[in-house]
Amino acid sequence: IWKVTFKTINSTTLLLPAWAKCLEDLYIPYWIIPRDVQTHWNLTYDMLAFTYEHWKAINKFTGDRGNDLQQYELKENEWMVVKQLCDILEVHFEFHGMLGHC
């Protein structure tokens, strides 16, 4: 997912418009996939949560031959891993959010 995000954000003339069109075709409001940064674990959660919530768009976008992203298509078992990571990181994310408000 990180590579899909990186390629999309850095391809403002090809992939970024294709992502916007993909969302439009699915009647999903336009939103850029959050980008992960190694030093901020909460961005990993944001990226994975967005990916899981928008799985139809991600599958359509990576499956489109015109985008040349087929090597990044997620298989069913990989989607399960995304969900599991979201569940684990969500607890961590919420816990740290509570600590910040104390």
d(CA 59, CA 40): 26
pLDDT of residue 61: 97
User: Which tens digit of pLDDT belongs to each residue from 27-63?
Assistant: 999 988 887 666 566 678 888 899 999 999 999 999 9
Q: How confident is the model at residue 21 (pLDDT cuts 50, 70, 90)?
A: very high
pLDDT of residue 40: 61
User: Which tens digit of pLDDT belongs to each residue from 57-99?
Assistant: 999 999 999 999 999 999 999 999 999 998 888 866 555 554 4
Q: Name the amino acid, one letter, at 37.
A: V
- pTM for the full model? 0.78
Phi-psi region of 27 (alpha: psi -120 to 50; beta: other; left: phi over 0): left
Q: Which two tokens stand for residue 12?
A: 């403002």
